[in-house]
Chains A and B, each alone.
Chain A
């Protein structure tokens, strides 16, 4: 009986410890984000790695998502003769939901995992200890440029993704489903609001913050050599994606 209770207690404690640790590092990163010195050069390097290098994969994802969205919507809307509204549906879905979320997930897979791997190998080779021994705050030095870069660059990627998604939908609708190009474009922008764009961009900034923080944190807390680095990388992708999807729900609820 005591053994069961002990096990339960230990489980609860370790979960609480994890949550506490997340929010401690969350707070330290926030403090780092608002207090100088910022490292413009390091941030710029991360902007290239998180942003510029992610452009191809984000564009491909968005293009095909826009296309498939047009196909699927056509299939459904045809049943009640509302094919004319495919453009609106594609644009709204891309801007409000799919652009930010899919971009967030793709960047988590590309950059969040890379952050975890990089910081993880720094941890296991004592480079993070070396940083501290050289009187350098590792959160300020390693987390802040990465998180800042992700906050800046994920919304930019999302703007691209939105645009390419709409193009993908247009191409599929016009060339394959026989929609009238002029009507389609009219429909695309007819019901769009500035709010649709900004709510997506606010969400994507939060996603950028989350995926970078989770990636850095998983790497930072790595234990146990090369195997540990592998584990951290996997955890970064899983936890990063989950936190994006969960945050998405609550943000959408708030921003509506």
Chain B
């Protein structure tokens, strides 16, 4: 275990992934150290969620390796893989709460499945998690009764129930009003100070990114093309960053860049065949 103590919490090496001929991730590298928080920016549909799903093994890369604390996720057995997944808490875009269960049962789900805690201990932990996301006492509500912001925070509570070492947030504030966004950001901040996890957060909101992250990465053309501190990011002259900071579409690279590159590759191969 001593070697894994020095290893980065999350390391992606040479990840490539295509869907039906469309190349989404191309030879992507990414490292997140223990306790570090990375915000991931990028245009919609560029593959940020795909990247996040690779980190926790929801998607298997076509090429490359995913290492969690120095352990190769896809070289491990399925049982070991599940053990690695337990080190993660993932929050999904719309919360992804199990709608067949109450809020309390949702948060208790990982606890009843993966711990030997008694009913009372579980109820206490559920209450504690709800407290942390500032929604005390809503255990008996159904997910369908909750607003979008509440669903996401219940999703956070479920994600942190097992006190994971790593947190993944998929667009935690997208589509929320500014006040709810602020609440969500404060909740994320509080989870960070209490649990000190490594974190990857996908967001479109620069203000959110600058508040919760130590590093800001920009995903473009299937790779992390920019990786700097929030301060550097804000002042960067890089046209891709400037396009994002100012919100100017004229500065941004065309959307289908990786696809076009793949197309070019195909054309080249076809050319070779003809020669």
Is B114 a contact of A129 with CB atoms below 8 Å?
Answer: no
Number of chain B interface residues as a range: 20 to 34
B-side contacts of A122, CB under 8 Å: 98
Taken together as a complex, chains A and B put the C-alpha atoms of A135 and B58 apart, in Å, by: 10
Is A134 a contact of B113 with CB atoms below 8 Å?
Answer: yes
The smallest beta-carbon distance between B169 and chain A, in angstroms, is: 12
With A127-B98, A127-B99 known as contacts, the answer to whether A133 contacts B93 (CB < 8 A) is no
**Would you call A174 an interface residue if the criterion is a C-beta within 8 Å of the partner chain's C-beta atoms?**
no
Is A129 a contact of B113 with CB atoms below 8 Å?
Answer: no
Option from B53, B82, B96, B155 in Cβ contact (under 8 Å) with A135: B82
Taken together as a complex, chains A and B put the C-alpha atoms of A126 and B143 apart, in Å, by: 14
With A127-B98, A129-B58 known as contacts, the answer to whether A134 contacts B110 (CB < 8 A) is yes
Q: Interface readout for B17-59 with A: 1 if CB under 8 Å, 0 if not?
A: 0000000000000000000000000000000000001001110
**Would you call B146 an interface residue if the criterion is a C-beta within 8 Å of the partner chain's C-beta atoms?**
no
Is B86 a contact of A135 with CB atoms below 8 Å?
Answer: yes
Option from A125, A126, A127, A135 in Cβ contact (under 8 Å) with B85: A135
Q: Interface readout for A51-79 with B: 1 if CB under 8 Å, 0 if not?
A: 00000000000000000000000000000
Closest to B159 in A: A133
With A125-B96, A126-B93, A127-B99 known as contacts, the answer to whether A133 contacts B58 (CB < 8 A) is yes
Option from B93, B94, B109 in Cβ contact (under 8 Å) with A134: B109
**Would you call B83 an interface residue if the criterion is a C-beta within 8 Å of the partner chain's C-beta atoms?**
yes
Q: Interface readout for B68-103 with A: 1 if CB under 8 Å, 0 if not?
A: 000000000010001101101010111011110000
With A126-B96, A127-B98 known as contacts, the answer to whether A133 contacts B83 (CB < 8 A) is no
Taken together as a complex, chains A and B put the C-alpha atoms of A133 and B113 apart, in Å, by: 13
Taken together as a complex, chains A and B put the C-alpha atoms of A115 and B63 apart, in Å, by: 34
Taken together as a complex, chains A and B put the C-alpha atoms of A135 and B159 apart, in Å, by: 11
A-side contacts of B56, CB under 8 Å: 132-133
Closest to A128 in B: B96
Pull 14 A–B residue pairs with CB atoms less than 8 Å apart, ordered by A.
A122-B98, A126-B94, A127-B97, A127-B98, A129-B58, A130-B96, A130-B97, A130-B158, A133-B56, A133-B58, A134-B110, A134-B113, A135-B82, A135-B86
Chain B contacts to A: CB under 8 angstroms:
53, 56-58, 78, 82-83, 85-86, 88, 90, 92-94, 96-99, 109-110, 113-114, 155, 158
Known interface pairs A126-B92, A129-B58, A135-B114; 7 further A-B residue pairs with C-beta atoms within 8 A, sorted by A's residue number: A126-B96, A130-B96, A130-B97, A132-B85, A133-B90, A134-B109, A134-B113
